[in-house]
Amino acid sequence: NAGVTQTPKFRVLKTGQSMTLLCAQDMNHEYMYWYRQDPGMGLRLIHYSVGEGTTAKGEVPDGYNVSRLKKQNFLLGLESAAPSQTSVYFCASTPMGEWPYEQYFGPGTRLTVT
């Protein structure tokens, strides 16, 4: 049982390049989330999904797209990377309607855009 995994762990992009971050969970959770963490800002929600084929915007969605084609995977895409997207990205998942409503986090992806 690997929990929540993220690929890659580190990445350096040039401005304007595109990439996709992959989040996978093997806990059969319905809900999945993408956060970004910047120094002094805590974690902020980018996009989330309440089930396969559905996604919704969070607090800071601009410049990102997501897809959830399979229940266990949640992809975060950057179509044209900008230096402002330099951050650490976390994926999380949670089961539907189950106490203690804990979100299980992946190990994070450090992305640098030059």
Partner 1 sequence: AQTVTQSQPEMSVQEAETVTLSCTYDTSESDYYLFWYKQPPSRQMILVIRQEAYKQQNATENRFSVNFQKAAKSFSLKISDSQLGDAAMYFCAYRTYSGAGSYQLTFGKGTKLSVIP
Which residues lie near partner 1 (CB under 8 A)?
Answer: 31, 33, 40-45, 48, 50, 54, 56, 58, 88, 90, 92, 94, 96-97, 100-103, 105, 107-108
Using the minimum distance from each CB to partner 1, give the nearer residue, 3 or 83.
3
Q: In terms of C-beta density within 10 A (0-12 exposed, 13-18 middle, 19 or more buried), how is residue 35 classed?
A: buried
| Distance in Å, CB of 30 to partner 1, minimum | 8
Cα–Cα distance measured from residue 68 to residue 55, given in angstroms and rounded to the nearest whole number: 7
CB of 7 to partner 1, least distance (A): 15
